[in-house]
Amino acid sequence: MTAGIIATWAIAISLLIGSFFCLVGAIGLLRFRDSMVRLHAPTKVGTMGVGGLLLAAMIHSYTFEQGSLHELLIMGFLFVTAPISANFIAKVHLHHRTCKMPDPPPHDETWATLDVPEADLEIEAQSDA
């Protein structure tokens, strides 16, 4: 098998995997029940799908044409910005209270500190012995 045939198979597999992830992300975007759950479909699965499609484009450009780093830059930008945008969208929904709010944190001296409750220290001492 020549390098061109192997590259063609790699391109086809990357396109299939990327298309599958994009399809699952689109279905998840339509089927999930509220906006906070819907964030997972485009940010996680959709990003992997676009990454697979860009990987196929990179393999094609380096095998059959003059190589280019544009796809790698797009992939890096996408993988960095998708989680940040999802975080901002989630914060907006929490701020406007358009979703189910998380449980309030406990109001004791160990909340948001490195203090450990005494009961947990006793359990840890028993497990170390």
Q: Which class for 38: exposed (0-12), middle (13-18), buried (19 or more C-beta within 10 A)?
A: middle
34-82 confidence digits (pLDDT tens): 777 777 777 788 888 888 999 999 888 888 888 778 888 888 888 888 8
Residues 70 and 97: their CA atoms lie apart, in Å, by: 40
Give the residue carrying structure tokens 């220290």: 121
Structural domain range at position 74:
3-103
In a domain, 99, yes or no: yes
In a domain, 34, yes or no: yes
Q: Is the pLDDT confidence value at 14 over 90?
A: yes
In a domain, 15, yes or no: yes
In a domain, 72, yes or no: yes
Count of domains observed in the chain: 1
